[in-house]
């Protein structure tokens, strides 16, 4: 039986391992974390609506339910031409027929970034945001700045959605506590129209939300640096803040950047439509580690990472003669589909080449996202089938 090794136990890697197992391969998943962090629902950790354990699923439980082998170790190097990779504890590994790289992405490093915390970071970093918000709530006042950055070399790697979600959740949380009037919330981003990929109508709706929530907005100004208590822009102006929640744009994962695999200038894997890494017959790239080619508004999303995982499994099965049919491509599945949560409701953002919508879902949107979180956990643990 052919052996396939998946590197990275996130949303893309786990779905790939599950799909490969279904195709009847011998599968090993290697990850540095022992649990799958369900990012879309981690937005509720900073306001205490969910605990960190409620937004992660132990990989051991998924591996047992789905029948793949699990190794917890850190990948330090990939040598594609030599058909090998290296693990921190496990050393050199060559025991695979195919390799799937699903290590996620890194973030661009801004000057003074250590003075900020990202909602898209490790569980520890997400918990630090919660601790700081708890402290400000205890003091009953404060200034919080929320922002995200861009990457001109990889526009699809900008991660704005979760920043908006956490900011709107914090607004509603403070309002519920009767403290909102004591807090100054400011949003900042270097692009003139952050969120523009969702379309003009969505931008108008976001404008309204900012006004209704009394959130200040500074956009179109390049960020120079962060200090302990401020965001400084290139034009010399600044935002004073007790807490800076900032998510830089994505950058290539260091292991990918330092590998001999084919990559883009920004350090993301250059993949074919089939998810095969260009020039490497037996290596595939899935999810945020890969460069996504497509329309201007394209974005790296969890559901796309999952589609890429299933396509990879299908294509390897076809290549290995396990099933008949044509090879599949990921590009036709590019769309933006995101239930943007506000804490007291939500809005469904949907974008294709022909449609750009943001449908308000007061109250019900929040519960729909919660229900998705339950569905996702049960599905990964093999307790209920996949719905779409
Ligand atoms: C806060 C937040 C909210 C989001 N909300 C949504 C949403 O509502 N809808 C949506 O579609 N998308 C959403 N996304 C995007 C989505 O989560 C990502 O696109 C998706 O997680 C990408 O999956 P991945 O497997 O490529 O990367 P990841 O999920 O980041 O997984 C990478 C994995 O690789 C492991 N790893 C990294 N380096 C190493 C190493 N050296 N050795 C071994 N293992 C390693 C990591 O521990 C991790 O388990 C959100 C993202 C964030 C951060």
Ligand 1 and 225: CB distance under 6 A: no
**Could you identify the atom of ligand 1 that is nearest to the CA of residue 42?**
1
> Within 13 Å, how many C-alpha atoms sit on residue 381's CB side?
13
CB 52 within 8 A of CB 123: yes
- pLDDT value at residue 388: 75
Contacts of 314 (CB under 8 A, 6+ apart): 19, 23, 323, 325, 327, 328
Q: What does 135-149 look like in DSSP terms, one character per residue? A: HHHHHT-EEEEEEE-
What tokens were used for 133? 């918000």
Kindly report, residue by residue over 86-133, the tens digit of the pLDDT. Answer: 999 999 999 999 999 999 999 999 999 999 999 999 999 999 999 999
Share of the chain above pLDDT 70, in %: 100
Contacts of 147 (CB under 8 A, 6+ apart): 163, 187, 188, 189, 223, 231, 244, 245, 246, 247
Kindly report, residue by residue over 46-77, the tens digit of the pLDDT. Answer: 999 999 999 999 999 999 999 999 999 999 99
Ligand 1 and 302: CB distance under 6 A: yes
Q: Is the per-residue pLDDT at 204 higher than 80?
A: yes
Residue 345 DSSP SS3 = strand
Mutation probe of ligand 1 site: the residue of 39, 63, 369 with most atoms within 8 A of C-beta: 39
Q: Which pLDDT band, with edges at 50, 70 and 90, does 380 fall under?
A: very high
Residue 247 DSSP SS3 = strand
State the residue for tokens 């890969």.
Answer: 290
**Could you identify the atom of ligand 1 that is nearest to the CA of residue 121?**
53
Kindly report, residue by residue over 243-276, the tens digit of the pLDDT. Answer: 999 999 999 999 999 999 999 999 999 999 999 9
Q: How far is the CA of 102 from the centre of ligand 1 (A)?
A: 9
Chain centroid offset of residue 182 CA: 32
Ligand 1 and 163: CB distance under 6 A: no
Q: What is the C-alpha radius of gyration for the chain, rounded to an integer number of angstroms?
A: 21
Ligand 1 and 119: CB distance under 6 A: yes
Identify the structural domains of the chain with CATH numbers, from first to last: 3-105+252-333 (3.50.50.60), 109-249 (3.50.50.60)
* DSSP at 183: E
CB 11 within 8 A of CB 36: yes
Ligand 1 and 103: CB distance under 6 A: yes
Kindly report, residue by residue over 270-294, the tens digit of the pLDDT. Answer: 999 999 999 999 999 999 999 999 9
Q: How far is the CA of 237 from the centre of ligand 1 (A)?
A: 34
């Amino acid at each position: 039986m052919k052996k396939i090794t998946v590197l990275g136990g996130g949303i893309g890697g786990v779905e790939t391992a599950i799909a490969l197992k279904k195709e009847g391969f011998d599968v090993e998943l290697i990850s540095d974390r022992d649990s799958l962090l369900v990012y879309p629902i981690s937005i509720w950790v900073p306001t205490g609506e969910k605990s960190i354990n409620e937004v992660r699923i132990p990989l051991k439980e998924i591996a047992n339910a789905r029948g793949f082998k699990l190794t917890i170790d850190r990948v330090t190097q990939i040598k594609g031409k030599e058909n090998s990779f290296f693990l921190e504890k496990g050393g050199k590994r060559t025991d695979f027929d195919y390799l799937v790289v699903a290590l996620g992405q890194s973030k661009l490093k801004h000057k003074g970034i250590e003075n900020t915390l990202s909602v898209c970071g490790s569980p520890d970093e997400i918990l630090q945001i919660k601790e700081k918000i708890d402290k400000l709530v205890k003091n009953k006042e404060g200034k919080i700045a929320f922002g995200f950055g861009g990457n001109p070399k990889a526009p699809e790697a900008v991660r704005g959605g979760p920043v908006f979600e956490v900011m709107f959740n914090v607004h509603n949380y403070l309002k519920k506590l009767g403290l909102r009037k004591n807090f100054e919330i400011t949003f900042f981003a270097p692009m003139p129209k952050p969120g523009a990929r969702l379309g003009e109508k969505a931008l108008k709706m976001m404008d309204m939300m900012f006004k209704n929530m009394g959130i200040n907005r500074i956009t179109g100004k390049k960020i120079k640096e962060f200090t302990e208590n401020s965001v400084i822009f290139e034009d010399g102006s600044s935002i004073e803040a007790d807490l800076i929640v900032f998510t830089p744009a994505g950058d290539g994962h260091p292991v990918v950047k330092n590998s001999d695999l084919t990559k883009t200038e920004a350090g993301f894997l250059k993949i074919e439509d089939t998810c095969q890494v260009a020039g490497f017959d037996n290596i595939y790239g899935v999810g945020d580690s890969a460069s996504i080619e497509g329309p201007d508004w394209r974005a790296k999303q969890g559901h796309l990472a999952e589609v890429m995982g299933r396509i990879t499994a299908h294509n390897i099965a076809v290549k290995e003669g396990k099933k008949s049919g044509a090879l599949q491509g990921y590009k036709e599945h590019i769309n933006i589909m995101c239930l943007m949560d506000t804490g007291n409701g939500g809005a469904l953002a949907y974008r294709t080449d022909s449609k750009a919508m943001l449908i308000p879902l007061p109250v019900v949107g929040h519960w729909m996202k919660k229900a998705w979180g339950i569905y996702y956990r049960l599905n990964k643990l093999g307790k209920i089938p996949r719905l779409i």
